[in-house]
């Protein structure tokens, strides 16, 4: 069998993810997390937090909850069903930082925990900052030209 | 006796005089639960790291196999061992205290068959009389080396396989002593059909298994019907189906005789497992816990054991390389007296 023919066969035989189910699960669980975030925001606003501070507090609480659930091995189980539903909100980012930090404890606090903490989330931070610089520069020049 | 490049018939009796299997928690709940010698609880087995836990498994497997054959470490001429971890540290630290002359091997998940084949060849030369072949894998140690941290919330693909937490050891002796003999072997070639998906190892390994099986059957002029069982080591569901297709094209149908270690090790209803089990420990566990027992009891008489290994690393995968694979074959026969 030719390699090309084989790779086509692999594609044919390999079972695919159940897209309908995956989409629905991620939509509803992701939505639920966001709705919970909004409820938190309203809660903080009710207690007279500034608009901006309330937003920061929401992220703060979601990150804490994710970190704890990750530590107890519960987050992984939820994420297994939710997929992008837990990955896209800030919960995904928190989990991506906490999970390697926990795991590389055996290699010590400096070369293990600290060095490996951003092994998954690192690219998000690097390109996030890079994108914001580019965006900022564009914004600056557009404003300069536009007056 | 050499038949052809990489294919041998052993002229002297090489018998399996002891074997032992150690399994982790998930494996001990699977279909092999009654056959395993030692169960270990939790993930760490009382050690401080997953790597140390793997070493412990390998050590226990060796000690248990020696006990079953009534031998001590200083009576063993050589040990042939390896595992999946970088620099084979599972083996290096696990066997450190035993002080047995050591040959380190890396065959990824094919290490069980590879180490038995190499040990048998050594025995055939007459330079050694008693050898041990051992290998292991640990789910947590393998995950952190090849994939993501354990608690990372990602979804597994349906083609993915679950690395077994297990170890298996086989003690070989020259002479006409026991009921199971290693009769022939076939060294695998490195075969790469261009599969790049690290979550579909079965697909990467099936062509290697097919190549080895075809070469062996052609050279020995035998067919599937000459054997009671053709056991492949961890192709899983996807890989097994692909193997059937590949062999069909060569006019060989092994479906009736074939079983795969990746499909024998776990409960098929377990959702984590997806395509099946994998890891060097997977074929080691199935082979040492179950298949050798069946050979000893005479339930099986003629077995081809074809352990397959995927030879990539995380780095080669990130550099866009495809996954090379190898499949080593040994032919075992259960008989009262070697002839």
B243 Cβ contact partners less than 8 Å away, ≥ 6 residues apart: B206, B209, B210, B232, B235, B254, B258
Q: Let me know if residue B3 belongs to a domain.
A: no
**Tokens for B61?**
């497997």
Q: Let me know if residue B1 belongs to a domain.
A: no
In this complex, the residue of A3, A17, A100 whose CB is nearest that of residue B157 is: A17
Give B57-125 as a DSSP string. Answer: HHHHHHHHHHHHTT--GGG--EEEEEESSGGGHHHHHHSGGG---EEE---GGGHHHHHHHHHHHHHHH
Q: For residues B81 and B333, what is the distance between their CA atoms, to the nearest angstrom?
A: 23
The predicted-structure confidence for A82-128, as pLDDT tens digits, reads as follows: 888 888 888 999 999 999 999 999 999 999 999 999 999 999 899 99
- Of B147, B174, B201, the residue at which a domain comes to its end is B174
Do B127 and B240 fall within a single domain? no
In this complex, the residue of B152, B156, B207 whose CB is nearest that of residue A6 is: B207
φ and ψ at B323, to 5 degrees?
-100, 110
**What was the pLDDT predicted at A147?**
67
On the 0-12 / 13-18 / 19+ scale of CB atoms within 10 A, B24 is: buried
**In chain B, which residues have their Cβ closer than 8 Å to the Cβ of A6?**
193-194, 207, 242, 246
**In chain A, which residues have their Cβ closer than 8 Å to the Cβ of B157?**
17
Question: Using alpha carbons only, what angle is made at residue B332 by residues B330 and B337, rounded to the nearest 5 degrees?
Answer: 145
In this complex, the residue of A9, A16, A79 whose CB is nearest that of residue B153 is: A79
Do B163 and B191 fall within a single domain? no
- Which has the closest alpha carbon to B291: B325, B318, B269, B260? B260
The predicted-structure confidence for A20-51, as pLDDT tens digits, reads as follows: 999 999 999 999 999 999 999 999 999 989 99
Contact (CB<8Å) A7/B193: yes
Do B43 and B160 fall within a single domain? yes
**What was the pLDDT predicted at B268?**
83
Query: Residue B195 maps to which CATH number?
Result: 3.40.47.40
Q: Let me know if residue B2 belongs to a domain.
A: no
**In chain A, which residues have their Cβ closer than 8 Å to the Cβ of B150?**
76, 99, 103
Contact (CB<8Å) B200/A102: no
Do B12 and B157 fall within a single domain? yes
Q: Let me know if residue B216 belongs to a domain.
A: yes
Do B245 and B330 fall within a single domain? yes
The predicted-structure confidence for B281-327, as pLDDT tens digits, reads as follows: 999 999 999 999 999 999 999 999 999 999 999 999 999 999 999 99
Total count of domains within chain B = 2
Do B27 and B81 fall within a single domain? yes
Q: Let me know if residue B206 belongs to a domain.
A: yes
- Of B120, B147, B174, the residue at which a domain comes to its end is B174
Do B206 and B164 fall within a single domain? no
Return the residue in B148, B149, B240 with the most chain A beta carbons within 10 A, the one to mutate for interface testing: B149
Q: Let me know if residue B69 belongs to a domain.
A: yes
Output DSSP code: residue B35: T
At CB < 8 Å, which residues of chain B contact A? 48-50, 144, 148-159, 193-195, 200, 203, 207, 238, 241-242, 245-246, 249, 275
Determine the 3-state secondary structure of A73 from DSSP.
Answer: coil
> Scanning every residue of chain A, which has its alpha carbon at the shortest distance from the alpha carbon of B238?
A14
Do B252 and B163 fall within a single domain? no
**In chain A, which residues have their Cβ closer than 8 Å to the Cβ of B141?**
none
Q: Let me know if residue B88 belongs to a domain.
A: yes
Residue B1's pLDDT band, with cuts at 50, 70 and 90, is low
The predicted-structure confidence for B152-195, as pLDDT tens digits, reads as follows: 988 888 899 999 999 999 999 998 878 899 999 999 999 999 99
ipTM: 0.86
Do B145 and B237 fall within a single domain? no
**Tokens for B151?**
């608690």
Do B187 and B306 fall within a single domain? yes
- Of B174, B202, B224, the residue at which a domain comes to its end is B174
The C-alpha of B49 sits at a distance from chain A's nearest C-alpha, in angstroms, of 6
Determine the 3-state secondary structure of A93 from DSSP.
Answer: helix
Question: Using alpha carbons only, what angle is made at residue A119 by residues A134 and B322, rounded to the nearest 5 degrees?
Answer: 95
Question: Is the pTM above the cut of 0.95?
Answer: no
Range picked from A73-87, B90-104, B271-285 for highest mean pLDDT:
B90-104
Q: Let me know if residue B67 belongs to a domain.
A: yes
- For the segment B95-119, the average pLDDT, to the nearest whole number, is 96
Do B141 and B205 fall within a single domain? no
Do B189 and B232 fall within a single domain? yes
Owning domain of residue B188 = 180-334
């Amino acid at each position: 069998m030719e390699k090309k023919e084989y790779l086509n066969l692999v594609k044919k035989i390999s079972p695919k993810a159940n897209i309908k189910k995956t989409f629905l699960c991620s939509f509803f669980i992701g939505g639920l997390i966001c709705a919970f975030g909004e409820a938190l925001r309203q809660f903080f606003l009710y207690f007279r937090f500034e608009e901006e501070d309330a937003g920061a507090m929401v992220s703060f609480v979601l990150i804490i909850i994710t970190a704890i659930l990750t530590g107890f091995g519960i987050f992984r189980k939820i994420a297994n069903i939710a997929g992008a539903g837990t990955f896209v909100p800030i919960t995904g980012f928190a989990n991506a930082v906490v999970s390697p930090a926990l795991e590389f404890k055996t290699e010590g606090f400096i070369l293990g925990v600290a060095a490996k903490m951003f092994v998954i989330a690192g690219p998000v931070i690097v390109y996030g900052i890079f994108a914001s610089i580019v965006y900022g520069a564009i914004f600056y020049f557009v404003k300069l030209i536009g007056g | 006796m050499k038949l052809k490049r990489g294919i041998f018939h052993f002229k002297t009796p090489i018998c399996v005089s002891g074997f032992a299997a150690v399994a982790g928690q998930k494996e001990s709940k699977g279909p092999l639960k009654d056959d395993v010698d030692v169960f270990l609880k939790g993930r760490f087995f009382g050690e401080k790291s997953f790597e140390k836990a793997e070493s412990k498994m390998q050590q226990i497997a060796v000690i248990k196999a020696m006990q079953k054959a009534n031998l001590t470490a200083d009576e063993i001429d050589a040990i042939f061992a390896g595992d999946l971890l970088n620099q084979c540290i599972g083996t290096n630290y696990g066997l450190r205290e035993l002080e047995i002359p050591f040959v380190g091997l890396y065959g990824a998940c094919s290490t069980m068959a590879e180490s038995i084949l190499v040990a048998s060849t050594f025995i055939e030369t007459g330079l050694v009389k008693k050898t041990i072949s051992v290998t292991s894998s640990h789910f947590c140690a393998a995950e952190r080396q090849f994939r993501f941290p354990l608690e990372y919330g990602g979804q597994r693909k349906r083609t993915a396989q679950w690395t077994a937490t297990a170890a298996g050891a086989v003690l070989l002796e020259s002479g006409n002593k026991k009921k199971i003999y290693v009769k022939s072997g076939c060294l695998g070639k490195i075969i790469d059909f261009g599969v790049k998906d690290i979550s579909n190892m079965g697909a990467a390994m099936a062509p290697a298994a097919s190549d080895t099986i075809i070469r062996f059957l052609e050279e020995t002029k035998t067919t599937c019907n000459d054997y009671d069982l053709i056991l492949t080591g961890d192709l899983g569901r996807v890989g097994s189906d692909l193997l059937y297709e590949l062999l069909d094209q060569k006019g060989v149908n092994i479906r009736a005789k074939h079983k795969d270690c990746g499909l024998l090790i776990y409960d098929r209803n377990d959702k984590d497992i997806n395509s099946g089990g994998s890891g060097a420990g997977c074929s080691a566990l199935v082979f040492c816990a179950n298949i050798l027992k069946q050979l000893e009891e005479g339930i099986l008489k003629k077995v081809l054991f074809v352990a397959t290994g995927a030879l990539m690393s995380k780095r080669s995968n990130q550099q866009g390389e495809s996954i090379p694979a190898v499949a080593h074959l040994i032919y075992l026969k259960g008989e009262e007296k070697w002839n």
